Structure 1
């Protein structure tokens, strides 16, 4: 029974109790505590949070600016590199062309020198051949003269020891031979 009585008493006090509505004292203390916490948070914590957010925002913006500047600098360096590379290629092309022209000029000069040297050698050879021909002709003349004097002396039967007479006979004989050679050449032509 005692349990029943206690249960009824608890049931009556519970009927006055409203769980959704707080008691007035608790409401006032809770509101004051909330206001104190709100003032402390607003005075100390919010400015530090805002300062930290501003610093991070500045760091991010500064980082973006630095990244943009670095990217612009890298692009400028790349453009400069490309320009220098194009200039170097152009210069190399120009140098190759100059080398080709110089090579062609050197070949032409060497060819001219070789032709001049060949002409000089041919002329020297021709003059040497002409000199040797003249020498051979002189020797032949002397031998033919000696032989013709001997032959004429045998034919005439007298000695042609006189040098003036010898020379006239030799010259006449050689002129006759040259005249016969010319007529032979004219007939064959």
Structure 2
């Protein structure tokens, strides 16, 4: 039985070896699929790939342009900031100079006012001294004339004469004091 089975098996087709019509049919189906994929699907993939590549490259270029624009704007703002700092420093220096000039001017005005007040005070003191000297001279003169009149025993009412006597007396007094 085993032998009959082996013999019968030899006449039966081998399942591992495909039939020639199946191989030809398989090649035709694969060729149709290859042509269909190559003609319809691959171009769509290629187009989508090209669109994505263009979009990415455009985005990168756009980003680079925006970055360059931002860098230029930053440089411009830094330059403006630097100019503003220089301007502020110049204004501060100018204000210091003006402040120093104002202080010097105020000192000069205060010194001039002080000198004027001192000179006015000196003039006033001198005027008051002159008034006091004149008053004292006339008072001393009248006292001296009255006293001289008592000593001499005669009246020295003559104004000119009494004035000369008083002047001489005061001159003698001043000469003795010095």
The normalised TM-score by structure 1 is: 0.88
Matches within 5 A, 1:95-110: 95-110=91-106
d(CA) in 2 for partners of 1:157 and 1:6? 207
Matches within 5 A, 1:132-151: 132-151=128-147
* RMSD of aligned Cα (Å): 1.7
Alpha carbons of structure 1 residues 148 and 84: separation in structure 2 relative to 1, 3 Å: same
Give the deviation of 1:79 after TM superposition.
0.8
Q: Do structure 1's residue 11 and structure 2's residue 9 form an aligned pair?
A: yes
Alpha carbons of structure 1 residues 10 and 125: separation in structure 2 relative to 1, 3 Å: farther
Structure 1: gaps of 5 or more residues = 183-189
What's 2:47 paired with? 51
Structure 2: gaps of 5 or more residues = none
Matches within 5 A, 1:105-124: 105-124=101-120
The Cα offsets for residues 61-110 of structure 1, whole Å up to 9 and x where unpaired, read as 00110111111111111111111111111111111111110110000000
For these two proteins, the number of residue pairs brought into alignment is 178
The normalised TM-score by structure 2 is: 0.93
d(CA) in 2 for partners of 1:10 and 1:50? 56
Give the deviation of 1:166 after TM superposition.
1.3
The Cα offsets for residues 138-183 of structure 1, whole Å up to 9 and x where unpaired, read as 111111101110111111111111212211111111111122223x
